[in-house]
Amino acid sequence: MTRSSAPGKVYLFGEHAVVYGEPAVPCAIERRARVGVEPRDDATLRVHSDDLSLDGFTVEYAGSTDGKPDIDVAESLVDAAMGYVDEAIAQVREVTGEPDAGFEVTIESDIPLGAGLGSSAAVVVAAIDAATRALGVELSTAELAERAYQTELAVQDGQASRADTFCSATGGAVRVEGSDCRAIDAPDLPLVIGFDGGAGDTGALVAGVRQLRDEYSFAADTVASIGDIVRQGETALADGDVAELGRLMDFNHGLLSALGVSGRSLDSMVWAAREAGALGAKLTGAGGGGCIVALDPTPETETALRYLPGCEDVFPAELADEGVRQLE
């Protein structure tokens, strides 16, 4: 048995604007997916998951890719999870030159699913790392990130960001600009994440921003301003200026709101965090619904969000310095 974990991520700055060539800064958070792999004698792939869990419901399935798993949640979610594992193993077979490799794969994750926290990227990174090692092949982090990206690209019909998989593989804070991803310095960040239990329609949200940007010069300027915030944010990260990061996150959130990608529950969580004394708060990811990320070195934001109607889950999450981690 080999077993690896990989972290989820939040966007500190720059989501949506990154689509138009602006830089963005995602960072890995200390919430992980763990994937254990045991080679089989045949080419079969079996996936076990005891806790692809989300506060309020649990995915439990054990099946092959041929049959339907025994589940009590939306089939599409399980299909999606199975799809990522299938494709990750396809990458493993290719990179190891073992097209007939079969595995027992066990997945655990404490990253809420479908919340925009990069749970699929974390599962893919951990799965590829564990399965290649099981076959005696050690990938470099860069190669692991690339294979994980190819996996997401295949599953998501050619629409994937390098940022999620790179961030999950390398850990820490990452600067993304176009196809260039690189690790950047960052201080300890007292991140608090609030989740409304929902998810926006990423495709529709991205299309909405595009429409605004095509129609209005001030919307294009707003996208460019997000890029400026990101550049300012890189300086604040390098300086370890957490208060400045908070101010920039607040501003970034306002510009995302202007671009139509915030939502009632997201704004409600952002305000609860700010009124609890957070240094800053913003939505993270595609928006519409899903998660916010706040900076608060005190327990106040977590407490405020815990009692906020409409906030389904809240947890503190330090910056994950380490990306993929070999557990056994």
What residues form the annotated binding site?
112-122
| Binding residues among 84-123 for its own copies as defined by CB under 8 A | none
Minimum distance of its own copies from residue 177's CB (angstroms): 17
201 binds its own copies, rule: CB under 8 A: no
Question: Which is nearer to its own copies, 59 or 261 (by Cβ)?
Answer: 261
Q: What is the DSSP string of 14-80?
A: -TTGGGGT--BEEEEEEEEEEEEEEE-SSS-EEEEEEEEEETTEEEEEEEESSS----SS-HHHHHH
β-pair type (25-39, 103-109) = antiparallel
271 binds its own copies, rule: CB under 8 A: yes
Of the candidate residues 39, 63, 172, 260, the single one contacting its own copies (CB under 8 A): 260
Q: How big is the chain by its Cα radius of gyration, in Å?
A: 19
128 binds its own copies, rule: CB under 8 A: no
Minimum distance of its own copies from residue 11's CB (angstroms): 16
Q: Which stretch binds its own copies (CB under 8 A): 81-89, 195-203, 272-280, 317-325?
A: 272-280
Q: Which stretch binds its own copies (CB under 8 A): 55-63, 92-100, 165-173, 248-256?
A: 248-256
Whether the CB-CB separation of 101 and 39 falls below 8 Å is answered with yes
Q: Which stretch binds its own copies (CB under 8 A): 32-40, 82-90, 124-132, 217-225?
A: 217-225
217 binds its own copies, rule: CB under 8 A: yes
Q: What is the DSSP string of 175-243?
A: EEETTEEEEE-----EEEEEE-S----HHHHHHHHHHHHHH-HHHHHHHHHHHHHHHHHHHHHHHT-HH
Strand partners, 53: 58
- Of 185, 181, 263, 254, nearest in space to 222 by CA: 254
254 binds its own copies, rule: CB under 8 A: yes
Q: Which stretch binds its own copies (CB under 8 A): 138-146, 153-161, 235-243, 266-274?
A: 266-274
Minimum distance of its own copies from residue 309's CB (angstroms): 10
310 binds its own copies, rule: CB under 8 A: no
Amino acid identity, residue 191? Answer: L
Q: What is the DSSP string of 71-104?
A: -SS-HHHHHHHHHHHHHHHHHHHHHHT-TT--EE
Question: Which is nearer to its own copies, 62 or 224 (by Cβ)?
Answer: 224
The side-by-side arrangement of strands in the sheet containing 291-295 is 280-284, 291-295, 190-195, 313-318
Annotated active-site residue in 110, 164, 250, 296: 164
Question: Whats the size of the chain, residue-wise?
Answer: 328
Of the candidate residues 70, 138, 275, 318, the single one contacting its own copies (CB under 8 A): 275
164 is catalytic: yes
| Binding residues among 222-241 for its own copies as defined by CB under 8 A | 222, 224-226, 228-229, 232
CA distance 222 to 17: 9
302 binds its own copies, rule: CB under 8 A: no
Find where tokens 């990069």 sit: 118
The binding site for ATP comprises 112-122
Q: Which residues contribute to the site for its own copies (CB under 8 A)?
A: 212, 216-219, 221-222, 224-226, 228-229, 232, 250-260, 262-264, 267-268, 271-272, 274-275
Give the residue numbers marked as catalytic: 164
